[in-house]
């Protein structure tokens, strides 16, 4: 598409010229009919001409105003098309520069290329009719959308019409990447300029062809946008008419086409947002020229306009819906100035360290600091702390950070003239000036932070490079930041990152580790690196550092050793395929630079003896590179290389960088699924990592001592005016313990966290007799059934659960045999199916659960053969099986006293499907009776980019209908606990999920009897720890400990300890009430939350989260790991997933 297309509007008429005392210009095109250019021009008549290039000189003579068209357009002679293998291409002309025809070596690695043209011919001669165009393109993964000139704003319509509509990934050439991203989503195309050579591009395309997960990332934009093709001729003329009508007697004069064009973002097609994304208006880009006035938005898009106003041209025209939440530390527009290195697909990676701004993004947990709904809640606006319970003195793992009262951080934007691509050179030149040497400073190449303000708002410095070039550096003050600013919060984290570097600790992920002090577990070939997880944030009214002990688990096994062992076990016939499956996706660590990488592919064609091109253009083999760079001699010269796809460190938005890693130098991290199922291995790891409160306190004390003793670290803090203070102590409360209510007995457990012994002798609240059920087992498990049945009857009687004798079906030890037997024998009368599975149950379990949860909905119970062979534990095993089966049949086990009547509680959890990461599994579980002992469960699968639910209205409406069916009225109060909220998602939950819930409540309620809603965000993983001091030692706090001040945020939140830790340190759970219509007192909300932690029927004790959250987690886990489809609603009344 030629971006020169423009609406040419005349600016003068005869009448107007006469008023100015001038004669009308004579026509310049000879005799024409009236109302045509060249004919007599009627008074007040305007002539409009729509062109796609500069007006012909004869037309120029007619126009009252001459438009300046100054584009760097250039055309070349048509030449044959060039296409890569597996890539479909339609072209008329070849672009200037880039990949040229006749160079077979550039695409020799990609044979069997397909060539098409409108009229056939070319090399193979395959004509493609217009009707079969999209069908043909859709058969290929990639499409070369090359324009016939490489010039600014010159983008081919084939990008939209052919590639996007057909579902192929476009490979583009023409304007630079930034120019394309003004009109299409950032991750929707591949740009040729991101690769140093055609061979590099070809290697990347081959990589994508082999790795579907990475290839599918180029389609993520379709979750929020759809392609809309404008009418090529109709729409510009319609807008011309609209412009004429709206201009009235005043014609529109365009003096500068370039600036007019930038404001209107012209293009032949546009990508339109599908609707309002959470918290953001829908966006529309690439509007055709002639949009002189904003067009009306589609229904629901009240926040959007089809064009940007003249002052809006700085706004991104295709930004992802959630991108504006992650704003850069720099001022708007500054982030684009970050420099980037050249991509290389084969060079071993040597990371030079992160930039100060950490890739230009605000940390996600810092984003959550801006979300505070407490000020809108009148009942807790002044005070959110409760008062009930016994006061308790606690010690935390928080440390004070003291700052001067008038402390300020000054942010400067730094520019260079001429511009310098090298970030290191930028920093070196700036730091060489004496004006900055004595000041505390932090600089990432674009943004400079100073602890003291410079004398002038704009400061100019002059430097000279080693080549003698003079460079002018301009420092412009952009803002002054107080210590409470989110930017400063992130800045302090960067300061502590530098301090940990001084302590010789390495950053892996967000945590810092000491590889010099490993803890070895030799019998399992494991190493543990001790370290710390650290976060700086604002708690209530002051700045605090949160530090906790962390361990990095490393295997003393290289990838090469793993591959060798795998080859011996599988044989060569299936080795490469098995190796690919087991290694791709794992994280490895290279100890020569202590960095981690994700394995995205294995390149079997590249060996250590092969050469790659370094950044300076020279070539070197991998074996020589490691010898020269790290003095490492590779032992196996026939090993393949691992491919890792790196994310870009800065917001240059170019393609990810591929690096090659040598398996011999890569150590596996983490534990495999086989290792986590090894009881003895996990016990050995736990003995080292599960620190007692005393051990944790000793490690924290050592950290403080190391910082205070290290002169360089201490100086870094003092330079910025920071003082590392003491450990924080505070006052918490212990709420009363709860009584467990059974059918004919109320028990006060001797141990507050466990009432399993009471369950053996007391009757449960209610149960259904089990008389029509099946047991499916293999032949060798037949002798275990009698023992199981005997124990079930012995434990079932006292509980009030009557178990009849089942129908036993014996099958072969094959998953298909189990499934076939179930299909043959399950009928509508069957209450439950029990399957006794062999020792390796995954295939069996998944197929059985999928069939009995979705296709033929019947409650099922799976038991491992080895579980039934533990004779000494059979009574305990039978008790747990009996309780699970009771729940799956709709029974109720126990209850706690709930003072609030007509209360519904619900839990929401979200996770990704194990087989398809594009699918989000949403679990919703709600109580349907006033005792909170019966539950409604619903699971929905959706496709969204973020872990945000868009089905909550349907789920809550279903729960309210079920409540009404059982109670003949709607609940007065609804309290929903939302688990699974990641850092940075709090605002989206508030803006997108809460309105869905409110809409459901409003539509289901009738007039004055409307239910009141509260929404509580639950987080299990938090760094905060609490200890009680007893004499000269510390220990875990008691059950029911609540902390709602000092260590909390400014929101309506609290911490609750609702579990015990027999070994190690107990972790509190964090609760943040983001919406509250119920107006419960903080004491009541805290007590209710504690009560709900008693109601999880799969454990006779307290758990770390309210029961509905844990039920929702179990439901989503079953669906995401085994079923991969929505369970049948026929099972919604039963806890079939326990």
Q: What is the pLDDT of residues 558-571, one digit of tens each?
A: 999 999 888 888 87
**Which of the 8 DSSP states describes residue 518?**
-
pLDDT at 90: 40
Total number of domains in the chain? 4
**What mean pLDDT is predicted for residues 471-499?**
87
Residue 1109, in any domain of the structure: yes
Show Cβ contacts of residue 20 under 8 Å, excluding neighbours closer than 6 positions: none
Indicate whether 99 and 180 sit together in one domain: yes
Residue 835, in any domain of the structure: yes
**What mean pLDDT is predicted for residues 1026-1055?**
90
pLDDT at 939: 94
pLDDT at 909: 94
- Whichever domain contains 217, its CATH number is 3.40.50.11660
How far, in Å, CA of 277 to CA of 357, rounded? 27
Select from 837, 853, 888 the last residue of a domain.
Answer: 888
Distances (CA, A) of 255 to 7, 23, 73, 1117: 12, 22, 20, 63
Residue 1090 structural domain: 903-1022+1068-1131
pLDDT at 415: 92
Indicate whether 993 and 938 sit together in one domain: yes
How far, in Å, CA of 551 to CA of 511, rounded? 9
pLDDT band at 485 (very low <50, low <70, confident <90, very high): confident
Strands 441-443, 832-837: pairing is unpaired
Residue 1101, in any domain of the structure: yes
Burial bucket for residue 444 (CB in 10 Å: 0-12, 13-18, 19+): buried
Residue 158, in any domain of the structure: yes
Distances (CA, A) of 534 to 493, 690, 700: 8, 18, 11
DSSP secondary structure of 193-223: GGSSSHHHHHHHHHHHHH-HHHHGGGGGGGG
**What mean pLDDT is predicted for residues 1090-1105?**
93
Hey, is 689 helix, strand or coil?
helix
pLDDT at 833: 93
Select from 482, 511, 541 the last residue of a domain.
Answer: 482
Alpha-carbon 200 to chain mean position: 29
How far, in Å, CA of 713 to CA of 715, rounded? 5
Q: Indicate if the pLDDT at residue 1106 is higher than 50.
A: yes
> In the numeric block, which tokens belong to residue 1013?
């809603």
Enclosing H/E stretch for 512: strand 511-513
Distances (CA, A) of 220 to 24, 946, 1124: 57, 11, 20
pLDDT at 82: 44
Indicate whether 848 and 907 sit together in one domain: no
Select from 442, 467, 482 the last residue of a domain.
Answer: 482
**Which of the 8 DSSP states describes residue 690?**
S
Residue 518, in any domain of the structure: no
- Whichever domain contains 1015, its CATH number is 3.30.420.10
Ramachandran category for residue 44: left, alpha or beta (phi over 0 → left; psi -120 to 50 → alpha): left
Residue 1042, phi then psi, degrees to nearest 5: -120, 135
pLDDT at 867: 86
Indicate whether 879 and 913 sit together in one domain: no
How large is the angle between the packed helices 842-850 and 815-825, nearest 10 degrees?
A: 30
Indicate whether 914 and 1014 sit together in one domain: yes
> In the numeric block, which tokens belong to residue 1137?
């997933």
How far, in Å, CA of 614 to CA of 349, rounded? 11
- Whichever domain contains 852, its CATH number is 3.40.50.2300
Residue 619, in any domain of the structure: no
Segment among 816-820, 914-918, 1097-1101 with least mean pLDDT:
914-918
Give the tens place of pLDDT for each residue, 938-981. Answer: 999 998 777 888 889 999 999 999 999 999 899 999 999 999 88
Q: Which residues pair with 836 in a beta bridge?
A: 777, 863
Indicate whether 842 and 950 sit together in one domain: no
pLDDT at 232: 54
Cβ atoms of 1059 and 753 closer than 8 Å: yes
Q: Give percent above pLDDT 70 in the chain.
A: 74
Cβ atoms of 416 and 443 closer than 8 Å: no
How far, in Å, CA of 111 to CA of 84, rounded? 8
Burial bucket for residue 1050 (CB in 10 Å: 0-12, 13-18, 19+): middle
Q: Indicate if the pLDDT at residue 282 is higher than 50.
A: no
pLDDT at 1083: 94
Indicate whether 863 and 993 sit together in one domain: no
Indicate whether 1000 and 943 sit together in one domain: yes
Residue predicted with more confidence, 297 or 500: 500
Q: Which of 155-159, 750-754, 1053-1057 has the highest mean pLDDT?
A: 1053-1057
Residue 326, in any domain of the structure: no
Neighbours of 191 (CB within 10 A): 22
Q: Indicate if the pLDDT at residue 1112 is higher than 90.
A: yes
Neighbours of 324 (CB within 10 A): 12
Buried b (16+ CB within 10 A) or exposed e, 582-611: ebbebebbbeeeeebbebbbbbeebbbebe
Q: Indicate if the pLDDT at residue 651 is higher than 60.
A: no
Indicate whether 1017 and 1126 sit together in one domain: yes
pLDDT at 654: 54
Q: Mean pLDDT over all residues of the chain? A: 76
Tell me which residue has tokens 């001091």. 1029
pLDDT at 228: 73
pLDDT band at 66 (very low <50, low <70, confident <90, very high): very low
**Sign of the alpha-carbon dihedral angle for 358, 514, 552, 538:** negative
Nearest residue to 907 via CA among 980, 986, 1005: 980
Longest Cα–Cα distance in the chain: 114
Ramachandran category for residue 1131: left, alpha or beta (phi over 0 → left; psi -120 to 50 → alpha): alpha
Show Cβ contacts of residue 857 under 8 Å, excluding neighbours closer than 6 positions: 1127, 1128, 1130, 1131
**Which of the 8 DSSP states describes residue 1028?**
E
Nearest residue to 379 via CA among 1048, 991, 1078: 1078
Indicate whether 812 and 957 sit together in one domain: no
**Which of the 8 DSSP states describes residue 923?**
E
Side-chain-facing half-sphere of 814: CA atoms under 13 Å: 5
Q: Indicate if the pLDDT at residue 270 is higher than 80.
A: no
Enclosing H/E stretch for 688: helix 679-689
Show Cβ contacts of residue 912 under 8 Å, excluding neighbours closer than 6 positions: 919, 920, 921, 947, 1120
Q: Indicate if the pLDDT at residue 486 is higher than 60.
A: yes
pLDDT at 112: 47
**What mean pLDDT is predicted for residues 818-826?**
90
Indicate whether 881 and 927 sit together in one domain: no
pLDDT at 224: 72
Show Cβ contacts of residue 913 under 8 Å, excluding neighbours closer than 6 positions: 919, 920, 921, 941, 1119, 1120, 1124
Residue 734, in any domain of the structure: no
Whether the pTM exceeds 0.75: the reply is: no
pLDDT at 494: 85
Q: Indicate if the pLDDT at residue 742 is higher than 50.
A: yes
Show Cβ contacts of residue 317 under 8 Å, excluding neighbours closer than 6 positions: 182, 183, 265, 283, 285, 286, 308
pLDDT at 488: 85
Q: Indicate if the pLDDT at residue 292 is higher than 70.
A: no
Show Cβ contacts of residue 620 under 8 Å, excluding neighbours closer than 6 positions: 611, 612, 614, 628
How far, in Å, CA of 492 to CA of 490, rounded? 5
Indicate whether 176 and 106 sit together in one domain: yes
**What mean pLDDT is predicted for residues 834-857?**
87
pLDDT at 674: 79
pLDDT at 288: 26
């Amino acid at each position: 598409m030629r971006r020169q297309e423009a609406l040419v509007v005349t600016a003068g008429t005869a009448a107007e010229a006469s008023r100015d005392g001038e004669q009308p210009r004579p026509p310049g095109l000879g005799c024409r009919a009236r109302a045509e250019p060249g004919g007599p021009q009627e008074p007040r008549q305007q002539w409009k001409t729509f062109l796609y290039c500069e007006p012909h000189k004869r037309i120029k003579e007619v126009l009252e105003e001459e438009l300046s068209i100054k584009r760097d357009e250039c055309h070349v002679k048509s030449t044959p098309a060039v296409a890569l293998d597996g890539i479909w291409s339609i072209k008329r002309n070849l672009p200037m520069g880039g990949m040229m025809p006749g160079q077979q070596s550039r695409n020799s690695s990609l044979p069997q290329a397909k060539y098409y043209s409108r009229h056939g011919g070319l090399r193979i001669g395959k004509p493609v009719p217009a009707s079969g165009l999209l069908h043909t393109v859709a058969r290929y993964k990639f499409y070369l959308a090359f324009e016939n000139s490489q010039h600014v704003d010159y983008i081919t319509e084939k990008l939209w019409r052919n590639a996007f509509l057909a579902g192929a990934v476009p490979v583009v050439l023409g304007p630079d990447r930034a120019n394309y991203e003004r009109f299409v989503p950032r991750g929707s195309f591949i740009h040729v300029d991101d690769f140093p050579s055609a061979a590099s591009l070809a290697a990347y395309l081959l990589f994508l062809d082999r790795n579907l997960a990475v290839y599918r990332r180029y389609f993520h934009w379709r979750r929020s946008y759809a392609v809309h093709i404008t009418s090529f001729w109709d729409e510009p003329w319609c807008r011309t008419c609209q412009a004429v009508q709206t201009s009235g007697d005043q014609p529109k004069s365009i003096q500068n086409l370039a600036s007019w064009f930038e404001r209107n973002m012209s293009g032949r097609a546009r990508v339109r947002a599908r609707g309002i994304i959470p918290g953001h208006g829908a966006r529309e880009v690439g509007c055709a020229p002639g949009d002189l006035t904003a067009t009306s938005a589609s229904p629901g898009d009240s926040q959007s306009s089809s064009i940007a106003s003249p002052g809006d041209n700085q706004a991104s025209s295709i930004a992802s819906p959630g991108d504006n939440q992650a704003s850069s530390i720099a001022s708007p527009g500054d982030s684009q100035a970050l420099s980037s290195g050249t991509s290389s697909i084969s060079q071993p990676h040597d990371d030079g360290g992160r930039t100060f701004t950490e890739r230009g993004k605000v940390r996600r947990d810092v984003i959550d600091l801006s979300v505070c709904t407490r000020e809108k809640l009148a009942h807790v606006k002044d005070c959110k702390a409760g008062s009930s319970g016994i006061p308790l003195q606690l010690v935390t793992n928080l440390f004070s950070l003291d700052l001067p009262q008038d402390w300020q951080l000054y942010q400067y934007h730094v520019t260079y003239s001429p511009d310098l691509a090298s970030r290191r050179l930028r920093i070196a030149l700036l730091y060489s000036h004496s004006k900055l040497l004595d000041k505390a400073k932090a600089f990432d190449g674009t943004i400079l932070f100073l602890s003291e303000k410079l004398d002038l708002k704009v400061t100019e410095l002059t430097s000279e490079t080693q080549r003698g070039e003079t460079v002018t550096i301009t420092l412009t003050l952009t803002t002054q930041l107080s210590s409470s600013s989110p930017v400063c919060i992130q800045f302090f984290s960067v300061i502590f990152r530098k301090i940990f570097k001084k302590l010789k600790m390495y950053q892996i992920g967000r945590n810092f580790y000491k590889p010099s002090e490993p803890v070895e577990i030799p019998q399992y070939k494991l190493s543990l690196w001790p370290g710390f997880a650290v976060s700086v944030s604002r708690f209530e009214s002051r700045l605090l550092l949160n530090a906790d002990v962390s361990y990095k688990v490393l295997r003393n096994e290289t990838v090469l050793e793993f591959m060798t062992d795998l080859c011996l076990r599988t044989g060569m016939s299936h080795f490469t395929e098995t190796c690919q499956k087991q290694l791709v996706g794992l994280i490895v660590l290279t100890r020569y630079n202590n960095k981690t990488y994700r394995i995205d592919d294995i390149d079997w064609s590249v060996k250590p003896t092969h050469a790659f091109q370094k950044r300076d253009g020279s070539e070197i083999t991998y074996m020589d590179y490691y010898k020269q760079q790290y003095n490492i001699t590779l032992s196996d010269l026939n090993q393949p290389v691992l491919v890792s796809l790196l994310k870009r460190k800065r917001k240059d938005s170019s393609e990810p960088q591929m690096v090659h890693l040598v398996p011999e130098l890569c150590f596996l991290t983490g534990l495999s699924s086989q290792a986590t199922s090894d009881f003895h291995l996990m016990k050995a790891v736990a003995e080292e990592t599960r620190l007692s409160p005393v051990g944790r306190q000793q490690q924290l004390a050592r950290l403080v001592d190391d910082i205070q003793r290290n002169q360089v670290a201490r100086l870094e803090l003092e330079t910025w005016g920071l003082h590392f203070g003491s450990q924080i102590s505070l006052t918490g409360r212990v709420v009363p313990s709860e009584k467990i209510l059974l059918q004919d007995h109320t028990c006060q457990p001797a141990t507050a966290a466990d009432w399993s012994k009471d369950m053996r002798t007391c009757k449960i609240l209610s149960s259904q007799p089990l008389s029509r059920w099946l047991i499916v087992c293999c032949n060798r498990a037949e002798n275990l059934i009698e023992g199981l049945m005997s124990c079930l009857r012995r434990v079932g009687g006292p509980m009030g659960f009557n178990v009849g004798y089942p129908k036993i079906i014996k099958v072969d030890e094959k998953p298909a045999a189990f499934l076939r037997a179930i299909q043959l024998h399950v009928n509508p009368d069957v209450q439950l199916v029990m399957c006794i599975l062999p020792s390796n149950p995954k295939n069996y379990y998944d197929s059985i659960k999928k069939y009995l949860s979705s296709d033929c909905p019947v409650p099922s119970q799976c038991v491992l053969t080895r579980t039934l062979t533990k004779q000494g534990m059979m009574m305990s095993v039978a008790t747990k099986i009996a309780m699970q089966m009771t729940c799956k049949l709709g029974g109720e086990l126990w209850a706690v006293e709930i003072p609030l009547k007509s209360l519904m509680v619900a839990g929401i959890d979200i996770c990704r499907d194990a087989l398809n990461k594009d699918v989000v599994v949403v679990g919703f579980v709600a109580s349907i009776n006033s005792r909170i002992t019966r539950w409604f469960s619903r699971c929905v699968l959706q496709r969204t980019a973020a872990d945000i639910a868009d089905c909550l209205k349907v789920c809550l409406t279903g729960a309210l209908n079920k409540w009404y069916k059982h109670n003949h009225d709607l609940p007065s109060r609804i309290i929903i606990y939302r688990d699974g909220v990641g850092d940075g998602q709090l605002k989206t939950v508030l803006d997108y999920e809460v309105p869905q819930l409110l809409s459901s409540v409003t539509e289901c309620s009738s007039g004055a009897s409307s239910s009141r809603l509260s929404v509580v965000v639950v987080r299990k993983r938090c760094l905060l720890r609490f200890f009680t001091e007893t004499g000269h030692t510390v220990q875990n706090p008691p059950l029911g400990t609540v902390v709602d001040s000092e260590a909390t945020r400014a929101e309506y939140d609290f911490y609750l300890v609702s579990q015990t830790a027999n070994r190690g340190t107990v972790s509190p759970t964090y609760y943040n009430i983001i919406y509250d219509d119920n107006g419960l007192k903080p004491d009541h909300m805290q007590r209710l939350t504690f009560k709900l932690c008693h109601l999880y029927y799969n454990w006779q004790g307290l758990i770390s989260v309210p029961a509905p959250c844990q039920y929702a987690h179990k439901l989503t886990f079953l669906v995401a790991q085994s079923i991969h489809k929505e369970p049948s609603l026929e099972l919604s009344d039963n806890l079939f997933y326990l």
